[in-house]
Structure 1
Amino acid sequence: MKLAILSRNTKLYSTRRLVEAARDRGHSVRVLDPLRCYMRIAVDGFAMHHQGKPLSGYHAVIPRIGASVTRYGTAVLRQFELMRCYTPNPSDSILKARDKLRCHQILAAEGIALPATVFGDNPDDTSDLLAMLGPTPHVIKLNEGTQGAGVMLTEKLSASRSVIEALRGLYANFLVQEFVAEAKGADLRCFVVGDRVVAAMKRQAPKGDFRSNLHRGGSAKAVTPNPRETEVALRAARILGLGVAGVDLIRSNRGPLILEVNASPGLEGIETASGVDIAGSIIEYVANGGHRTGSRRRTASIRAA
């Protein structure tokens, strides 16, 4: 099979692992920088070039589109889709997951539990907006932040108002959520491939912080999610139309609550914690056109792309 991986950096761990896993399984694979792809759109067909040469004959494309290039990256992915190329994560599904507000609305409408969330635009409504949410602490999140960046905890109502006023002054889009204290700074990352959670890890925030992201100094260990957590993670990915997803949830007194669904989840932290060959599971899933495959423990070493 001829595979393409949309990634801006061939040296990233996740990109290298996918290339390695594809080559180990006998597939032809090429990493394409989405910002170097350009498109011809016409009623007589769709065409795309990359660095001066035409792209054709690809059976599948795996998107690794960073938040900073979401708009153009998903346009390139959409062009691949229009050229009859399979992808486990369609462009529209990535856009749904990347927009936290839209994602929360979609999941809540389908009965997926999540922390209570409020959103508003007019500064005159801030007091009533926070009253709709309830007492502090509050978690304030940039709508398109990643890896824990743009996530703030406010202990007092006055602090919530001040942060909201500052963000509005910067014309930033943000959400305000309830703080779930019983989670104790921990969350679960469930890695979904098709109809299975192939690996999961519990991430714990470092002392003095509430964000459990590994990029923020959090620690991780492999865990086995309970049946309800597994079901919620699979449903969330399926509702958004994602074949590959990192579903983040917290354990609360009322059951698992979805924090985020990541359409381009990193592999390094969870492969290291779990020892599972997740890259291999992704490649096998894609090579089978989105049908279920088994996952294996990792045995191969990392090779440079």
Structure 2
Amino acid sequence: MNQKLKIVILSRGPSLYSTRSLLRAGRERGHHISVMDHMNCDLVIDSKKPQVWYYGRNCSDIDAVIPRIGASVTAHGAAVIRQFELMNCFTTLNSEALLLTRNKLSCLQVLSGNGIDIPKTILPSTRSMAYRFLDQLKRPPYVIKVVSGTHGSGVLKADSKTSALHLLDTFSQLREMVIAQEYIEESSGKDLRIIVVGDRVVAAMERKSNTGDFRSNLHLGGSASLIKISDEERDIAIKSVHLMGLKVAGVDMLRSHRGPLVLEVNASPGLEGIEKTTGVDIAAHIIALAENHQNVSHE
């Protein structure tokens, strides 16, 4: 029988579906689980006794932390996670892995450097270099992405080299780091979202745009359906998550003529769309991950 755990969800949105689903799953499995706004955590950084305090309460008795960190507060969230790590508290999301995956360019570099196929990508240093290297992405259109964007924001399609250069110039003036990628025509408007927990895939869905947009994000009005993935897609998803140093993640993947291509690895994937689409209780799998760690550490 599993030991009852004291679990904390780090979240700024206690009413959000993902947070509520984790709360439900934790309570159904008999654990003491609560939500903490990580922006209200106080940290005592000390070589002998690192501490986290929350509204005057010392959090030294926490068994497991499940971070749900929004993109706008990534650095602060990572600092709080790191503090729990220094206290030898189990976390379902490593602080360094969070920082890595929030940068699209760094994520793609690690994946491609370890043999994971991705859409060909360039980070040009100047306009003249952009003009030169766009030719390596084959013919237009091109996909232009802000490195720090989420939920499909900061992702644009350029239908010509002139349009791509204009977008790159505009973002450069805004001091945004921007990459350009080849456009995978055969998968336009659709992709796969695959959820990995621990060492296995627990759910997968296909997302499709309903508006003619080349982006398929549910936040942009897309729809989703249950899908069976191949053994190759499963293995690539698991390898990608492990390369990022993650225990729980969503992998976004395209089906192309040359095989599966990984777009990105999301360290804090939303649960609503995929739980409702697949009927899989992903939150329960995440709670079980914390349980399994506790059981192993006490053996």
TM-score, normalised on structure 2? 0.95
Per-residue deviation, residues 152-189 of structure 1 (Å, max 9, x unmatched):
00111100011011000100111110000011311000
The Cα shift of 1:291 comes to: 8.8
Following the alignment from structure 1 to structure 2, what is the Cα–Cα distance between the partners of residues 120 and 52? 49
Indicate if the aligned counterparts of 1:183 and 1:251 stay in contact, CA closer than 8 A. yes
1:276 aligns with: 280
**Cα deviation 1:204-248 (Å, max 9, x = unaligned):** 012320000001011100111111110110000011111100000
Residues 180 and 291 (structure 1 numbering): CA distance in 2 closer, same or farther, change over 3 Å? farther
In structure 2, relative to structure 1, the CA distance for the partners of 1:55 and 1:273 (3 Å cut) is same
Match of 1:121 in 2: 125
- Kindly indicate whether the alpha-carbon contact (under 8 Å) linking 2:189 and 2:212 is maintained by their aligned counterparts in 1: no
What residue number does 1:143 align with? Answer: 147
In the aligned structure 1, how far is the partner of 2:191 from the partner of 2:294?
28
Q: In the alignment, which of 218, 226, 231 is matched to residue 227 of structure 1?
A: 231
Flag the 1:135–1:243 CA change in 2: closer, same or farther, 3 A: same
| Runs of at least 5 residues in structure 1 that lack an aligned partner in the other structure | 293-305
**Residue from 275, 289, 297 that aligns with 1:285:** 289
Amino acid at match of 1:62: I
Determine the structure 2 residue equivalent to 1:47.
51
Across the aligned residues of Structure 1 and Structure 2, the Cα RMSD in angstroms comes to 1.4
Quote the residue 2:248 is aligned against: 244
CA contact (8 A) 1:5 1:32 kept: yes
Q: Does the CA-based 8 Å contact 2:253-2:261 persist in structure 1?
A: yes
Aligned partner letter, 1:99: N
Which residue of 96, 103, 115 corresponds with 2:100?
Answer: 96
Q: 1:253 aligns with which of 248, 257, 281?
A: 257
1:133 to 121, 134, 137: 137
C-alpha distance in 2 between matches for 1:44 and 1:38: 17
8 A Cα contact 1:285 1:291, kept in partner: no
**Distance in 1 of aligned mates of 2:295 and 2:100:** 23
* Contact 2:127-2:165 within 8 A present in 1 as well: no
Counterpart selection for 2:187 from 183, 188, 203: 183
- Kindly indicate whether residue 206 of structure 2 is the aligned counterpart of residue 202 of structure 1: yes
Report the more deviating stretch, 76-85 or 282-291. 282-291
Write the deviation string for residues 26-85 of structure 1: whole angstroms up to 9, x where unpaired: 111111111001211122220111123221211110110010000000000000000010
Query: Structure 1 residue 269: deviation in Å?
Result: 0.1
In the TM superposition, what is the alpha-carbon distance from 1:132 to its structure 2 partner? 3.5
2:152 partner SS: coil
- Asked whether the equivalents of residues 131 and 161 of structure 2 are also in contact (C-alpha less than 8 Å), the reply is no
Contact 2:211–2:221 (Cα < 8 Å) also in 1:
no
Residue 111 in structure 1 maps to residue 115 in structure 2: yes
In structure 2, distance between residues paired with 1:171 and 1:225: 39
1:123, distance to aligned residue in structure 2 (A) = 3.4
Structure 1 position 120, deviation (Å): 2.5
Give yes or no for contact 1:242–1:263 (8 Å, CA) kept in 2: yes
Of residues 255-264 and 90-99 in structure 1, the stretch that sits farther from structure 2 once superposed is 90-99
Q: How many residues align?
A: 292
Q: 1:31 aligns with which of 31, 35, 39?
A: 35
Counterpart-to-counterpart distance in 1, 2:213 and 2:251: 21
Q: Give the SS at the match of 1:224.
A: coil
Moved over 6 A (4+): none
- Give me the identity figure in percent: 46
Rounded to whole Å, the distance in 2 between the matches of 1:223 and 1:164 is: 36
Q: Which residue of the partner structure matches residue 295 of structure 1?
A: none
TM-score by length of 1: 0.93
SS in 2 for 1:141: strand
Q: Is the Cα contact below 8 Å between 1:7 and 1:63 reproduced in 2? A: yes
Work out the CA distance in 1 between the residues paired with 2:266 and 2:260: 17
1:290/1:188 Cα in 2 relative to 1: closer, same or farther (>3 Å)? farther
Cα distance in structure 2, aligned partners of 1:157 and 1:171: 21
Equivalent AA in structure 2 for residue 164 of structure 1 = L
Q: Give yes or no for contact 2:144–2:181 (8 Å, CA) kept in 1.
A: yes
